[in-house]
Amino acid sequence: MLLIKRFAICLLVPTSAFAQAQSFVAIDVKPVRSVDPQSRRLRVLLNGDLIGTSVNAITLISEGYSVPANPSERLSTLPPWVYSERYDIEAKAPSSAKQMNSSDGNTSKLVRDMFRQVLADRFHLVMRTENRTMPVYALVVARGGPKLQQSNISHCIFDTAQDGCHSFLIGFGHPLNARAVDMDDLAHYIENWTDLPVVNRTSLTDVFTISSEGWQPMRLPPPPPGGTGNVDFTHLQTIDAVLSGLGLELHREVATLPVYTVEQIQQPPSH
271 occurs within a structural domain: no
pLDDT for residue 223: 65
In terms of residue numbers, what domain contains 237?
A: 5-264
Question: CA 200, CA 82: separation in Å to the nearest integer?
Answer: 27
Q: Is residue 270 part of a domain?
A: no
Q: With a cut of 90, say whether residue 220 has pLDDT above it.
A: no
pLDDT tens by residue, 145-167: 999 999 988 788 999 998 899 99
pTM of the full predicted structure? 0.87
Structural domain contains residue 154: yes
258 has pLDDT over 90: yes
Structurally, the chain folds into a number of domains equal to 1
How does the average pLDDT of the chain come out, rounded? 88
Residue 190 belongs to a domain: yes
pLDDT tens string 88-136? 999 999 988 777 776 666 788 899 999 999 999 999 999 999 999 999 9
* pLDDT score recorded for residue 3: 43
Beta-sheet strands, E only, within the chain: 5-6, 11-14, 26-31, 41-44, 50-56, 86-92, 126-141, 149-150, 158-159, 178-181, 198-200, 208-210, 248-264
> Is 123 domain-assigned?
yes
CB atoms within 10 A of CB 35: 9
Residue 16: the pLDDT is: 40
Mean pLDDT for 39-59 is 94
Which has more pLDDT, 225 or 106?
106
Residue 234 lies in a domain: yes
Whether residue 269 is contained in a domain is answered as: no
Residue 121 in any domain: the answer is yes
